[in-house]
Structure 1
Amino acid sequence: MAMTPLVLAGIAVAAPIAGATAASAKPSGCQVGHPDSNTGTAICRTGTGQVRVKITCQDGITGSKHLAYGPWVGVNKVSKAACGAPQRMIVTLVDYQTR
């Protein structure tokens, strides 16, 4: 009888791990968008997991480049990022990452 709480605790720990594996499957049916010269978006329509937009920004004056990332979002949600000052920074590439 003293072992019952330990067994139950083991089951309780195993259940979230199994759930995490299923939730971490990569999404699919993904699309990127470029609504204006300073912004990029990404959305995935099917699967599970999360997506975030990854944009390459270029400074119109110096030519230097940097990456900007949108937030991680679930399927059928839009991840959006902007480069910064729209009068100076432009998006040169829109991509995405999944997990």
Structure 2
Amino acid sequence: MNKKKLTSLAMTPLVVAGIAVALPIAGATAASAKPSQCQVGKPDENTGLAICHAGTGQVRVKVTCEDGVTGSSHFAYGPWVGVDKTSKVACGAAQRYFVSLVDYQLR
């Protein structure tokens, strides 16, 4: 056997291994696409909403609720929804709680 052919045969497992590693990475990238062109809103003092208009995956609204009596705060989360669907949540009793911040999460 000549030296060129030995080098070629020695590289074959590396090339095959490289392809085997590259395929799962490419698959994970395609599967982990996120929604985009997202917007948040506050239709009233007690409610927050989020919607995304492009991409794939899901979005949910995350609001920071403040207690008008004690001043304490907590988070409230809307349901996970797909693109072009609205995730909406209220803080609780409208006469007591109000939304101080509207944000969203993606998956």
Percent identity (aligned): 77
Query: Aligned to 1:96, what secondary structure does the other structure show?
Result: strand
Distance 1:45 1:24 in 2: 17
* Counterpart for residue 90 of structure 1: 98
* Counterpart for residue 3 of structure 1: none
Are residue 34 (structure 1) and residue 42 (structure 2) matched?
yes
Residue from 44, 52, 62 that aligns with 2:70: 62
More strand by percentage: 1
* Counterpart for residue 10 of structure 2: none
* 1:28-50 deviation per Cα after TM superposition (whole angstroms, max 9, x unaligned): 00000100000000000000000
Query: Aligned to 2:69, what secondary structure does the other structure show?
Result: coil
Q: TM-score, normalised by structure 1?
A: 0.77
Are residue 49 (structure 1) and residue 57 (structure 2) matched?
yes
Q: What root-mean-square deviation, in Å, do the aligned CA atoms of Structure 1 and Structure 2 show?
A: 1.6
Q: TM-score, normalised by structure 2?
A: 0.72
* Counterpart for residue 84 of structure 2: 76
Count of matched residue positions in the alignment of Structure 1 and Structure 2:
82
Dislocated runs of 4+, deviation >6 Å = none
Q: Give ranges in structure 2 of 5+ residues lacking alignment.
A: 1-26
Larger radius of gyration: 2
Q: Give ranges in structure 1 of 5+ residues lacking alignment.
A: 1-18
More helix by percentage: 2
Query: Aligned to 1:55, what secondary structure does the other structure show?
Result: strand
